[in-house]
Amino acid sequence: MPLDAPEHIAAIARSVVLGGATGVRIEGVANMEAVRRRVSVPIIGLIKARPAGGIQRHDVGTGVDDRCDIGK
């Protein structure tokens, strides 16, 4: 995907915040870390699993502990 890189996602997030967004929904830890450095609005983080059969979202709590310090 041409724009699927943390620096691009962060730039897009900053653009939507400048346009008035009061929060952003971001997928992936690297993307969340990059976005946190660029915006101060709340981030709704999403971690997707990519098993052979397709993409699945994790159940609540799965892998969350490792990602809770992104905003610190």
Asked if the structure places residue 15 within a domain, the reply is yes
Per-residue pLDDT tens digits for 14-33: 999 999 999 999 998 899 99
For residues 40 and 20, the answer to whether their CB atoms sit within 8 Å is: no
Q: What is the pLDDT of residue 9?
A: 97
Q: What is the pLDDT of residue 48?
A: 76
Asked if the structure places residue 30 within a domain, the reply is yes
Asked if the structure places residue 25 within a domain, the reply is yes
Asked if the structure places residue 65 within a domain, the reply is no
In terms of Cα–Cα distance, which of 72, 2, 41 is closest to 26?
A: 41
Q: What is the pLDDT of residue 5?
A: 96
Asked if the structure places residue 22 within a domain, the reply is yes
Q: What is the pLDDT of residue 47?
A: 82
Per-residue pLDDT tens digits for 46-63: 887 766 776 666 555 555
Asked if the structure places residue 67 within a domain, the reply is no
Q: Does this model's pTM top 0.85?
A: no
Q: Is 54 left (phi over 0), alpha (psi -120 to 50) or beta?
A: left
Domain of residue 29 covers 6-59
